């Protein structure tokens, strides 16, 4: 099985980096192939604009979604979009690894969604949810938080984590056809002990082994 990790963190000594490395090691030991889209290291451009296209459909006006349709049909996307779409095509599982910022993903990950999961590639006419363009693929969201788990409960200060992540898990991933797995969340990683961080890494490895065993 081919796995794509869409990874977004500036610091290679971060806990997000540790989670990413555990995933790579676990998948390789299970016989899977892993590709990492390291968005910051690769200087991925998160802003969708005219630079996304090597040929523009209309010169006098700009309609981003129509330009995406034209580019997908005519293979006129910018090189980084083509690269990321090819990585998605070749992968059966896509993991999105990043910290939670403002109840969502960092802007660079949202930009990846906007620019890579394009109309007619991931969604479009008669292409949504079960018939979405990526309906043969599985998505897993792996995130870290600054706050403790108790504040992300149904009756907690922020409300349930599933509700918070719904615009991502449903509005972005499921809408494009992904089979969306329950997210893996590591809470309050800046304030917990080294032992507790190791427990998270161990739990994450076990989850991956259970979900994607050798021969998956």
Instruction: List, for residues 99-136, the tens digit of each pLDDT value.
Output: 999 999 999 999 999 999 999 999 999 999 999 999 99
* pLDDT for the residue 60: 79
Marked catalytic residue, from 7, 72, 123, 152? 152
Cβ of 180: how many Cβ atoms within 10 Å? 19
pLDDT tens profile 179-192? 999 999 999 999 99
* pLDDT for the residue 56: 87
pLDDT tens profile 66-95? 999 999 999 999 999 999 999 999 999 999
* pLDDT for the residue 133: 98
pLDDT tens profile 135-155? 999 999 999 999 999 999 999
pLDDT tens profile 1-55? 999 999 999 999 999 999 999 999 999 999 999 999 999 999 999 999 999 999 9
Those residues whose C-beta lies under 8 Å from the C-beta of residue 131, and which sit 6 or more positions away, are 177
Higher pLDDT, 60 or 143: 143
Give the Cα-Cα-Cα angle 43, 47, 48 (nearest 5 degrees).
Answer: 120
Marked catalytic residue, from 48, 92, 158, 159? 158
Q: What is the DSSP letter of 43?
A: T
Separation of alpha carbons 39 and 42, rounded Å: 5
As a whole number, the mean pLDDT across the chain is 96
Q: What is the DSSP letter of 147?
A: S
* pLDDT for the residue 58: 76
152 is catalytic: yes
Marked catalytic residue, from 10, 55, 146, 166? 146
146 is catalytic: yes
Q: Is the pTM of this model over 0.85?
A: yes
Extents of the domains making up the chain: 2-51+87-211
124 is catalytic: no
Structure tokens at 67: 């330009």
Specify the CATH number for 2-51+87-211; select among 3.30.1600.10, 3.40.50.720, 3.40.50.2300, 3.40.50.360. 3.40.50.360
Structure tokens at 64: 């981003």
Query: Do residues 55 and 72 touch, judged by C-beta distance below 8 A?
Result: no
Helices (H) and strands (E) in the chain, counts: 6, 6
């Amino acid at each position: 099985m081919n796995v794509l990790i869409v990874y977004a963190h500036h610091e290679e000594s971060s806990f997000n980096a540790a989670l990413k490395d555990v995933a790579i090691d676990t998948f390789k030991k299970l016989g899977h192939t892993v590709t990492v889209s390291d968005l910051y290291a690769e200087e991925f451009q998160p802003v969708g604009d005219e630079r996304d296209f090597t040929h523009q459909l209309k010169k006098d006006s700009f309609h981003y979604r129509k330009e995406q349709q034209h580019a997908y049909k005519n293979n006129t996307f910018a090189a980084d979009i083509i690269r990321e779409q090819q990585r998605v095509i070749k992968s059966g599982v896509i993991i999105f690894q990043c910290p939670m910022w403002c109840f969502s993903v960092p802007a660079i990950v949202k930009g990846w969604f906007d620019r890579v999961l394009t109309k007619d590639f991931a969604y479009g006419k008669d292409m949504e949810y079960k018939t979405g363009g990526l309906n043969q693929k599985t998505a897993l969201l792996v995130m870290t938080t600054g706050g403790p788990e108790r504040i992300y409960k149904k009756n907690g200060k922020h409300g349930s984590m599933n509700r918070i992540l719904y615009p991502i898990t449903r509005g972005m991933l499921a809408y494009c056809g992904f089979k969306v797995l329950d997210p893996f969340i590591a809470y309050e990683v800046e304030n917990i002990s080294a032992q507790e961080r190791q427990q998270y890494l161990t739990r994450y490895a076990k989850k991956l082994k259970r979900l994607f065993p050798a021969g998956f």
